[in-house]
Amino acid sequence: MQTLTAEILPQTIRQRPADSYKGTYGRIVLIGGNQNFGGAIIMASAAAVYAGAGLVTTLTDPSNQGSLHARLPEAMFADYHDDALLTSLVTGADVIVIGPGLGTDAPALATLKRVLALVTPQQTLVVDGSAITLVAEHRLTLPAVPLVLTPHQMEWQRISGIRIADQTEAANRQAVDRLHATVVLKSHRTEIYTATGTYENPLGTPAQATGGMGDTLAGMVGGFLAQFSDPTHAVLAAVYSHSAIAEELAQTQYVVLPHQITEQLPAFMKAHEAH
Amino acid sequence: MQTLTAEILPQTIRQRPADSYKGTYGRIVLIGGNQNFGGAIIMASAAAVYAGAGLVTTLTDPSNQGSLHARLPEAMFADYHDDALLTSLVTGADVIVIGPGLGTDAPALATLKRVLALVTPQQTLVVDGSAITLVAEHRLTLPAVPLVLTPHQMEWQRISGIRIADQTEAANRQAVDRLHATVVLKSHRTEIYTATGTYENPLGTPAQATGGMGDTLAGMVGGFLAQFSDPTHAVLAAVYSHSAIAEELAQTQYVVLPHQITEQLPAFMKAHEAH
Amino acid sequence: MQTLTAEILPQTIRQRPADSYKGTYGRIVLIGGNQNFGGAIIMASAAAVYAGAGLVTTLTDPSNQGSLHARLPEAMFADYHDDALLTSLVTGADVIVIGPGLGTDAPALATLKRVLALVTPQQTLVVDGSAITLVAEHRLTLPAVPLVLTPHQMEWQRISGIRIADQTEAANRQAVDRLHATVVLKSHRTEIYTATGTYENPLGTPAQATGGMGDTLAGMVGGFLAQFSDPTHAVLAAVYSHSAIAEELAQTQYVVLPHQITEQLPAFMKAHEAH
Amino acid sequence: MQTLTAEILPQTIRQRPADSYKGTYGRIVLIGGNQNFGGAIIMASAAAVYAGAGLVTTLTDPSNQGSLHARLPEAMFADYHDDALLTSLVTGADVIVIGPGLGTDAPALATLKRVLALVTPQQTLVVDGSAITLVAEHRLTLPAVPLVLTPHQMEWQRISGIRIADQTEAANRQAVDRLHATVVLKSHRTEIYTATGTYENPLGTPAQATGGMGDTLAGMVGGFLAQFSDPTHAVLAAVYSHSAIAEELAQTQYVVLPHQITEQLPAFMKAHEAH
């Protein structure tokens, strides 16, 4: 297992070419946020916007429209119950993030199934949170597309069948290869399993142990994938940046709020871009 | 009566263990906020989140969903009229705070009764604001669970039967022992009655004399109880922190807004954590 | 005509007594904000809260509930169509501000009439914006209670019958005495007519020439009246503070937003309180 | 083609006369923001307010009322489906901005047609975003009024018939003259075609390549037009300011959020006003 270092940042975060426009940095849709967990998809969407994704649309319950725009006018909104709109937006996206605050009820399952049926190999799909639980519980087949899963240890147990105590590198690797996915296995020392390597994130602070951290990471992963050409680098750099910013904030804060990490992203990325 | 000092802070606020996750810091539900007093439960919930509680859910009137998430995406939302959801969330919580902005009408009474019936000795119940008035007016029996009451002097008169002018330490102690509760009796010099001792908070400023201060304190008490092992210390440290931050802000402000205290919490707690 | 100076500030803004509570600083209700002008009553309410009023309730159109709490959880909300609630809140208030964003349609007129019928000489009524226009257009009789009007020059023309070009001190004084009101006549050099004197505000900047300034001033006037014992001083100090803060901000801003004045209030008042 | 320099700023941004009021700085209405793109019209409206327009009204879908006021209480709201209200507001405006987040469906088309029929030569009309696409697709006749179009290159292709690769100065000039409009042709080096000259904006950074930048520029153009006497200068200064602020922020940010540009406007304009 390789330990991530700050070198992943300039390897990933390139100086933007002068002659570029918002389309250059990708179209991303984020799907989640039912009536109870609207904050989750708002936090994920904000992370994607502040990471620099070109065009961000949030597919969520209509009850979240107002709070989304109150916090984040830069994101577009769509009602995830509107199948025609969902189909059009998912089809037109470069990156799809599904899961933050999606919930596990029947409509959530239907939405997830619809998205799994729509995605194509030209797109990247990030499956997070309750979407992982749904995949596991309903034994859904993941599509043969570029795939990133961002489970915490219990969600990983559900989808891999490996109990938390048995989640060794070797056991995880077997499951990862079976899933044909990049897996971000979140714990106090997050591990990232890609097709070709395994990485440990040396950073992370218990000040991050609060609701919404994972939603924010999922949005960052999506935002990095939307704009950086090497998907492995994008995932590794997103994970590293998330923790590095949190550690910085934790120098002076007992707890770090997820939205605070997001707000630091533009400055952090600038400080670490390649030249 | 003992006078609280800053020593209560490092006695309570411990350096977080590296290997911890959001579950380590407790599940808290906050119940309140009718159509008129939504701000109260938003302020209480924000205080719980910024204090570092692991997972925070706000049970409130559905008209408050949007403003809750616009201010605080880190909190989850539930409609407090949905009995199945309320039952599930209250049952799964470590700490329940009821009262901020709850009101005193019939639905509020019904919600309060339901919660009083659901809580178990493994949980801690914080009863604040209009919930105290309801208990007093309807002579509700408080459950035999770890209990914290946070009345101001008039609410204390209602529930203890002791008129404000007669609220001496001795009289209060008798009522406290009868209630089997920790009581935070709010005034310009707040007193805290625990099972084993009585404490006076030497801090506090008239700049705090504004609506929402009590709601914020209730949320902080809940947030400290959710994550710190000694409940007496948790309550004492929350009261002390609330006033200490207010005094700091009042150096340069004629009035201190409740949400400003909340925003200072992460830095204040970091500055006073034990090592 | 006397020119106001900074001396009005310490004459008005007294160090708060240690043994005070939110009731000490007054109950204020602000009435306005129809479906089109919700921002006006939000800005007025925020000014009252940040000025230090003890308990602030906003009576407005229900469509403004969410945005009010998203910006200002410290204020309580009530639907101004709910007559029982309006009656109870107005009856229980020390200060009533009516007008910001109220509009001039039939429901607005009905609300205004209801409030004019409810107020008593123990209360102070601030009439602002469209409420002034309504009084003038419908020749409503102003009640015999402590009364503050905050017209701009065109509104003053409507209610006094004096055309803008003819609004001399002498002419204004006659109308003021007939109205038995304190009048804040807003222009680039605002004049204040009280029962016993006439004052000119020497401050004010064209950077303030933007929508919402008057709403913010009305809320400040209400907030000062709610907590300071001398009503003339309260009005004078509110007017002076509003412009003084604006001038400070205008040192570095081409335009000053009303909400920015509000956010500076607590620090400004602290810097100028008496000792 | 002339290259813009910072000299355009003091040529445009004049010290405000002391004896001015909000009416001096113009009435502007911004029309757009359907249920999916509410953020766009919120960002445009905020830019107009922070640029210093005197009175700003946002005509949008009613689902955006709450988020508009949560972010921007200084703007007034109107439901763009309410024809009587739209007619009255458009008729009374000095500047009308139509397009940000308007969408291209049938109701959007109907709204646009209505506005095109209402405007008069005493007003200035800014046509942005999807309104440009609608004009092109439905071959709408633009009214003979002072007109500003703010297309990006693809929108310009649609309305001018010139393919992106063929958008030379000479070709553009012909189309501009045919349209009798000032055209802000947005790209990484924005060009401005006025009746009498052609200008290139030398500023701009790829950190701006994110959703909402154009909406913010449209609002700034409207806000400058509302208050500055020379319309050509107003457009040129708005374009230059937008990029200059972005470049400043991009010194320390990898991506610049549109709302951050808006928040810098009052200070930027002050720093560059004429004396």
Which of B3, B2, B6, B4 is closest to B269 using CA atoms? B6
Residue type, A172: N
The strand order across the sheet containing D95-98 reads: D2-3, D198-200, D191-193, D182-185, D147-150, D124-128, D95-98, D27-31, D55-60, D76-79
Bridge partner residues of B182 (DSSP): B148
**Which residues on A lie below 8 Å from D70 (Cβ)?**
66, 70
C-alpha A224/C-alpha A232 separation (Å) is 10
Residue type, A44: A
pLDDT of residue D21: 85
Tell me: pLDDT of D19 over 90. no
Partner A contacted by C62 (CB < 8 A): no
- State whether D269 and C255 contact (CB < 8 Å): yes
Does the annotation list C243 as a binding residue?
Answer: no
All residues at 6 or more sequence positions from B46 whose CB lies less than 8 Å from its CB, including other chains: B71, B72, B75, B216, B219, B259, B262, C73
C-alpha A22/C-alpha A107 separation (Å) is 33
**Tokens representing residue B115 in the block:** 């919660």
pLDDT of residue D148: 98
Which of A209, A212, A214, A205 is closest to A245 using CA atoms? A205
Partner B contacted by D170 (CB < 8 A): no
- Distance from the C71 Cα atom to the nearest Cα atom in chain B, whole angstroms: 8
Does the annotation list B212 as a binding residue?
Answer: no
pLDDT of residue C264: 98
- What ipTM goes with this model? 0.97
Which of D188, D191, D193, D203 is closest to D248 using CA atoms? D203
Which of A9, A13, A22, A55 would best serve as a mutation to test chain D binding (most D beta carbons within 10 A)?
A22
**Tokens representing residue B192 in the block:** 């805290």
All residues at 6 or more sequence positions from A7 whose CB lies less than 8 Å from its CB, including other chains: none
pLDDT of residue C51: 98
- Give the tens place of pLDDT for each residue, C86-124: 999 999 999 999 999 999 999 999 999 999 999 999 999
Does the annotation list C190 as a binding residue?
Answer: yes
Does the annotation list D190 as a binding residue?
Answer: yes
All residues at 6 or more sequence positions from D168 whose CB lies less than 8 Å from its CB, including other chains: none
Does the annotation list D3 as a binding residue?
Answer: no
C-alpha A42/C-alpha A56 separation (Å) is 11
- State whether C67 and A70 contact (CB < 8 Å): yes
- State whether A206 and B266 contact (CB < 8 Å): no
- Give the tens place of pLDDT for each residue, A248-259: 999 999 999 999
B23 secondary structure, DSSP code: G
- State whether B211 and C66 contact (CB < 8 Å): no
Indicate the pLDDT class of residue D163, thresholds 50, 70 and 90: very high
Question: Residue A22: which of D36, D71, D209 has the nearest Cβ?
Answer: D209
**Tokens representing residue C262 in the block:** 């509000």
Tell me: pLDDT of C19 over 90. no
Does the annotation list B81 as a binding residue?
Answer: no
Question: Torsions phi, psi of C181, nearest 5?
Answer: -135, 155
- Nearest chain A residue (CA) to D64: A66
Tell me: pLDDT of A188 over 90. no
- State whether C257 and D50 contact (CB < 8 Å): yes
**Tokens representing residue D164 in the block:** 């992106």
Q: Is the separation of the CB atoms in B48 and B219 below 8 Å?
A: yes
Residue D110, number of CB atoms within 10 A of its CB: 13
Question: Residue D212: which of A74, A79, A85 has the nearest Cβ?
Answer: A74
- State whether D211 and A54 contact (CB < 8 Å): yes
Angle at the Cα of C109 (from C104 to C112), degrees rounded to 5? 115
Bridge partner residues of A60 (DSSP): A79
- State whether A22 and D213 contact (CB < 8 Å): yes
- State whether C211 and D55 contact (CB < 8 Å): yes
Beta strand C2-3 with D27-31 is unpaired
C-alpha A49/C-alpha D213 separation (Å) is 12
- Give the tens place of pLDDT for each residue, D66-103: 999 999 999 999 999 999 999 999 999 999 999 999 99
At residue C212, the 3 state secondary structure works out as coil
Average pLDDT for C22-30: 94
pLDDT of residue B275: 79
**Tokens representing residue B134 in the block:** 């309801």
- Per-residue DSSP letters for C239-275? HHHHHHHHHHHHTT-SS--HHHHHHHHHHHHHHH---
**Which residues on C lie below 8 Å from B261 (Cβ)?**
none
Residue A30, number of CB atoms within 10 A of its CB: 37
Indicate the pLDDT class of residue B153, thresholds 50, 70 and 90: very high
Which of C116, B74, D235 is closest to A39 using CA atoms? B74
Average pLDDT for C125-149: 98
CB pairs under 8 A between A and D: 115
Tell me: pLDDT of B23 over 90. no
pLDDT of residue A90: 98
Q: Is the separation of the CB atoms in B254 and C52 below 8 Å?
A: yes
- Give the tens place of pLDDT for each residue, C181-226: 999 999 988 999 999 899 999 999 999 999 999 999 999 999 999 9
- Residue D130's alpha-carbon distances to B172, B188, D64, D71, D101, in angstroms, are 68, 58, 18, 23, 7
- Nearest chain C residue (CA) to B103: C76
Q: Is the separation of the CB atoms in C86 and C78 below 8 Å?
A: yes
pLDDT of residue A169: 97
Return the exposure string of D35-66: e unless at least 16 CB atoms fall within 10 Å of the residue's CB, then b: bbbbbbbbbbbbbbbbbbbbbbbbbbbebbbb
Question: Residue B73: which of A43, A152, A206 has the nearest Cβ?
Answer: A43
Partner D contacted by A24 (CB < 8 A): yes
Q: Is the separation of the CB atoms in B251 and B50 below 8 Å?
A: no
Q: What is the dihedral of CA C52, C55, C61, C62, to 10 degrees?
A: 120
Which of D42, D69, D227, D270 would best serve as a mutation to test chain C binding (most C beta carbons within 10 A)?
D69
Mean per-residue pLDDT of chain C = 97
- Give the tens place of pLDDT for each residue, B221-259: 999 999 999 999 999 999 999 999 999 999 999 999 999
- Distance from the D226 Cα atom to the nearest Cα atom in chain C, whole angstroms: 12
Question: Residue A42: which of B25, B55, B69 has the nearest Cβ?
Answer: B69
**Which residues on D lie below 8 Å from B66 (Cβ)?**
66
Indicate the pLDDT class of residue A21, thresholds 50, 70 and 90: confident
- Distance from the C68 Cα atom to the nearest Cα atom in chain D, whole angstroms: 7
- State whether D22 and C211 contact (CB < 8 Å): yes
Average pLDDT for B125-133: 98
- Give the tens place of pLDDT for each residue, A61-114: 999 999 999 999 999 999 999 999 999 999 999 999 999 999 999 999 999 999
Partner B contacted by D73 (CB < 8 A): no
Partner B contacted by A158 (CB < 8 A): no
- Distance from the D33 Cα atom to the nearest Cα atom in chain B, whole angstroms: 19
- Distance from the A71 Cα atom to the nearest Cα atom in chain D, whole angstroms: 8
Partner C contacted by B152 (CB < 8 A): yes
Average pLDDT for C246-255: 98
**Which residues on D lie below 8 Å from C261 (Cβ)?**
none
At residue B167, the 3 state secondary structure works out as coil
Residue B181, number of CB atoms within 10 A of its CB: 22
**Which residues on B lie below 8 Å from D66 (Cβ)?**
66
Partner B contacted by A256 (CB < 8 A): yes
Partner D contacted by C253 (CB < 8 A): yes
pLDDT of residue B16: 95
**Which residues on A lie below 8 Å from B68 (Cβ)?**
67
